Amino acid sequence: MTRQHSPDFTWNTIDLVFLDLDGTLLDKYFDDFFWEEYVPEVYSQKNNVDPQECRQLLVSTYKQVESTLQWTDLNYWSERLNLDIAALKDEIAHLINIRPFVTEFLEHLKDRGKEIYLVTNAHPRTLEVKLGKIQIGDAFKRIICSQDVGHAKEQIEFWETLQTIQPFHKERTLFVDDTERVLDSARAYGLKHLIHIAKPSSKLPPVFSGSYPSIESFRDLLF
């Protein structure tokens, strides 16, 4: 069992907050269900393949492009799988959900005058579906998609380019994400205040990071 690190900053040292979307603000259960259950089910029906075999095949296909911009690109998957991925997301949009204490946290930041930015690997079309369902879009000063930056957040180039698009002070910015590889690239770029989300999916037990302050919900940042 890894030792759990608690957040170690005070709000008066922070001006800007970068927030990830899936697994941080929104329940990652939607994405897990979509890619691991729903897409394989539809694909197996359409192509007459055994569902279990199909699931294994697709999961290994996803792994080939993990942590790249392609993984996040709906058009890439629509072409590769010959399915209308955006339309399939719409079909199960009722499963999109906000994570615990997100509304309170956004309000907390606003009250303290922090600038909030959404920094996400989500494709613009996915964002449209998600922010249409969960109306938190107004909280952000700006929404930055990795598709616009040209690199996935797991790549250090993402942060180098982001600095030119939306300048930020490395020591006065807080970044919250549920993916350690993303936090690793942010740390390599020099971001000082990083927080890991240990429970991105409501359906899975928490897994705390051994490398970053790691929280189950934003209740831990309401100080």
List strands edge to edge, sheet with 173-177.
142-145, 115-120, 16-19, 173-177, 193-197, 214-215
Alpha carbon distance 66, 44 (integer Å): 22
Of 44 and 72, nearer to Mg ion (C-beta) is: 72
Taking the complex as a whole, how short is the minimal distance between the CB of residue 16 and Mg ion, in angstroms? 19
The backbone torsions φ and ψ at residue 134, rounded to the nearest 5 degrees and listed phi first, read: -110, 110
Taking the complex as a whole, how short is the minimal distance between the CB of residue 170 and Mg ion, in angstroms? 21
- Number of other residues whose CB lies within 10 A of the CB of residue 112: 11
Can you read off the two tokens belonging to residue 65? 């492009």
Residues 151-190 that bind Mg ion (CB under 5 A): 178
Whether residue 33 contacts residue 55, with contact meaning beta carbons closer than 8 Å, is answered with no
Of 44 and 120, nearer to Mg ion (C-beta) is: 120
Angle at 128 between CA 122 and CA 133, to 5 degrees: 110
Alpha carbon distance 108, 147 (integer Å): 29
Q: Is 22 in the site for Mg ion (CB under 5 A)?
A: yes
Can you read off the two tokens belonging to residue 9? 């900053």
Residues 2-21 that bind Mg ion (CB under 5 A): 20
Of 153 and 193, nearer to Mg ion (C-beta) is: 153
Single out the residue of 23, 31, 54, 102 in contact with Mg ion (rule: CB under 5 A): 23
Residues 54-83 that bind Mg ion (CB under 5 A): none
Q: How many residues bind Mg ion (CB under 5 A)?
A: 4
Of 73 and 178, nearer to Mg ion (C-beta) is: 178
The DSSP string of 25-67 is: TB-THHHHHIIIIIHHHHHHHHHT--HHHHHHHHHHHHHHTTT
Taking the complex as a whole, how short is the minimal distance between the CB of residue 31 and Mg ion, in angstroms? 8
Taking the complex as a whole, how short is the minimal distance between the CB of residue 43 and Mg ion, in angstroms? 24
Of 23 and 213, nearer to Mg ion (C-beta) is: 23
Q: What residue is closest to Mg ion based on CB?
A: 23
Of 54 and 221, nearer to Mg ion (C-beta) is: 221
Taking the complex as a whole, how short is the minimal distance between the CB of residue 14 and Mg ion, in angstroms? 20
Taking the complex as a whole, how short is the minimal distance between the CB of residue 58 and Mg ion, in angstroms? 20
Q: Which residues bind Mg ion (CB under 5 A)?
A: 20, 22-23, 178
